[in-house]
Structure 1
Amino acid sequence: MFGWTVTAVAVCSVLLTVPMAAGTGSGTSCEEARLKCAYRTGCGMALNNYMLGCSGVVQRASGASHCPEVCQHALIALTSAEEGKELISCKCTDDMCKQAKERVEICRPHVELATLNETIVSCRVAQWICKADALCSTALDYYHRFCRSMFQGKRCTNRCNNSISILRRQEKAAKLVACRCDGQEDYDCPQIRINMERLCFPPASSPASPSSTAAPTSGTVGSAVTTSTLVLMSTALGILLQAT
């Protein structure tokens, strides 16, 4: 699926073992958990990113005091995927697997903090979490397809609004609700938020009433949208600009 060489697969068997595993783990072997993840589109991508981003951590001697940001992001995304969660408690069957878990343990505090529901993460991390889930990733793809005019500051079409509504309903898009622009994006995150608010959800011309401020139903996207919804939609579109 990913065109991996035999060497890459061998390296993967060592690297793709997630920290946070307590004791001897569940009854599922780490090899089985890796294979299940690899054949799922979103989890497979997150797993591949983990192999690349955390190789330096795994290859270092125990006692390393730093977990690189790229490894943190890869771990957060991988452990957010449904199939990736099995890698948390899988059972190692060899010493190399156990050693990998021990070395990546340095990343545990960062990963556990970022995955708490109340934690606000950067929009880059929120993007990785969404893309690690097949449904959320698909919603982002449709959003990208139908909102190009809005990205450019021109207009927000009905199709764009509908794709936003679909994206909002994805569980793995939750971190996009309040993610922060950290200035390290390869797009203008703050400006994109402004475009979204101005074009897709302009302020109502008349004073708001209780009915006009209610959240839209699952099948409707109106002009009255909560602030958190605006943040979600605004930051999510920035994610998609990277694919253009």
Structure 2
Amino acid sequence: MERVLLLICCELIIAIGFSGGSPNHKHRPACWKAILKCHGEPDCRYAYDQYIHACAPVISGVRKICPSHCISSLIQLNLTRNGPDLEDCDCAMDPVCRSTQQAIDPCVPRTRAMGCTEARLQCETDPACSSAMRDYLFHCRKLFGGQRCSEGCRKVIANMRSIPKALQLDACVCDGSDRNICEYIKLSMRTLCSESSDGGSGFSDTMEDTDDDDIYQDDYYYISDVRVQTLLLVKLLLKLWKVCICFG
């Protein structure tokens, strides 16, 4: 009889373990303990403060959609030694803790989303992806300025979505010092390159792009390294920001 009861208890423990959280956690730490432990680690405490600031609108309920920098801060927090415990900690009966977990849950990357910096570095090492990236930087330059998404740019983007390493660039989370620029480019792609948006100004691609192609093509092909092109693009966009745009 005791053996039967023991087996039943073991099955219940296993069932609770599978339904209660991540398989990587043998038990769920109390959230207040996880926070104290995080604050004892400088990197975790800094990442936690960044998360509180970046995700404040989501936690308070002001915003339902997660900003990219909120998702990025969660990724950075999870990269610290004690950060992962916060993702799957036990709130017990604390209502504030529970509401915070419920609000922030949609923002937590389920697949440990890759940062765009890492995605770009991986793309550079892949011949097909790096070649597609060079085409993208050349044919989509009007997109970077927020002007239009040409037919040539659309074709390049479609081609990139057939390349595994390039797909990471589409799904990655903007991070690092170039996060704002990255978010602006992603926003331009969503608004200008979607099927329903107006892809141009009424002129054909050849009429609009020919003069620019003559000017830039010679210089473009002298620059074969993707990273150099990216740095040039960053400098260009920073100049555009200072002149005409302020991004939040």
Give me the TM-score of the superposition, normalised by structure 2.
0.37
| Larger helix share, 1 or 2 | 2
Greater relative contact order (Cα < 8 A, sep 6+): 1
Instruction: Report the TM-score, using the length of structure 1 for normalisation.
Output: 0.37
